[in-house]
């Protein structure tokens, strides 16, 4: 991996500033775990029968961003990026995907998420989570997505080590 250029969260920020910064920190962590790898390395699977790869994680996080921001706060019916059946596992199979495709979709969804968060009046704004058919707050969504990144960045640590032996933050 290259130099660590991530910006850490503020030590004394507001709740919203802190959530926003932690999300961006974890987004940057996923990107950092993929730096310097070619498409074949990014598609390298952890072990059979798993289809999990770094590129699959990027694709999955595009789906997470879309589901928890766009589908909740803008359009409950918008389809997922890689599945018309709301199958989150479909994103993990990146065998035919490229860095450009996966990162393009992920970065586009991150920008939608950032816009939705910025435009919201407060963390108390609610939308309907389509799978649960219940109202959820922006605060809950931000925490949920943050936890998704934390979980999957742990996977990314092991995947990256398996690809080229690189370990670290």
Q: Considering the chain, what is the average pLDDT of its residues?
A: 92
The pLDDT, as a whole number, for residue 86 is 73
What confidence tier does 131 reach under pLDDT thresholds 50, 70, 90? confident
- What are the extents of the domains in the chain? 15-163
Q: What is the pLDDT of residues 135-151, one digit of tens each?
A: 999 999 999 999 999 99
Q: Taking the complete model, does pTM exceed 0.85, yes or no?
A: yes
C-alpha–C-alpha distance, residues 68 and 62, integer Å: 10
Give the number of residues written for the chain.
169
φ and ψ of 53, to 5 deg: -145, 170
Pick from 124, 166, 97: nearest CA to 19? 124
Class of domain 15-163: mainly alpha
């Amino acid at each position: 991996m290259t130099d660590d250029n991530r910006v850490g969260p503020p030590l004394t920020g507001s709740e919203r500033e802190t959530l926003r910064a932690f999300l961006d920190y974890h987004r940057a962590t996923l990107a950092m775990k993929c730096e310097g790898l070619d498409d074949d390395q990014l598609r390298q699977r952890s072990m059979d029968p798993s289809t999990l790869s770094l590129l699959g994680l990027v694709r999955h996080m595009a789906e997470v961003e879309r589901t928890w921001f766009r589908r909740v706060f803008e359009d409950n019916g918008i389809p997922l990026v890689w599945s018309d059946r709301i199958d989150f596992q479909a994103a993990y199979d990146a065998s035919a995907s490229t860095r450009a495709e996966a990162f393009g979709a992920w970065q586009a969804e991150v920008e939608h998420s950032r816009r939705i968060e910025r435009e919201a009046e407060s963390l108390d704004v609610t939308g309907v989570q389509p799978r649960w058919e219940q109202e959820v707050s922006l605060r809950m969504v931000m925490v949920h997505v943050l936890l998704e990144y934390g979980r999957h960045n742990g996977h990314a640590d092991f995947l990256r080590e398996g690809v080229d032996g690189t370990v670290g933050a």
